[in-house]
């Protein structure tokens, strides 16, 4: 599968997330990368950011959280 095909599948999957869950993805960016770091060959995806349970009134003006989806090893 080409990278473009994989990115299209990821986009389609994101479009299928129900609105009530998509609202929770405020300030989150999704990226596609070819492969994870060599130390984590089985990693399919990674969330980096502040969990919703840790966000308080102070949570503003920060860079987006990041979800990285790996195309494969």
Radius of gyration (C-alpha) of the chain in whole angstroms? 14
Q: Where are the domains of the chain?
A: 3-70
How far are the Cα atoms of 10, 33, 36 from residue 39, in angstroms, in the given order? 24, 15, 8
* Annotation: CATH topology of 3-70: Zincin-like (3.30.2010)
Distance CA 38, CA 58 (A): 36
pTM over 0.95: no
- Identify any residues that bridge with 27 across adjacent strands, giving them in sequence order: none
Cβ-contact 29, 64 below 8 angstroms:
yes
Q: What is the mean pLDDT of each run of 10 residues along the chain (73 residues)?
A: 95 96 92 92 94 85 94 82
Q: How is residue 64 annotated by DSSP? A: P
């Amino acid at each position: 599968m080409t990278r473009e095909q994989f990115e299209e599948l990821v986009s389609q999957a994101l479009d299928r997330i129900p609105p009530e869950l998509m609202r929770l993805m405020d300030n989150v960016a999704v990226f596609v990368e070819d492969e994870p770091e060599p130390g984590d060959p089985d990693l399919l995806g990674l969330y980096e950011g502040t969990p919703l349970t840790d966000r308080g009134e102070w949570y503003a003006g920060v860079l987006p959280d990041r979800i990285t989806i790996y195309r494969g090893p």
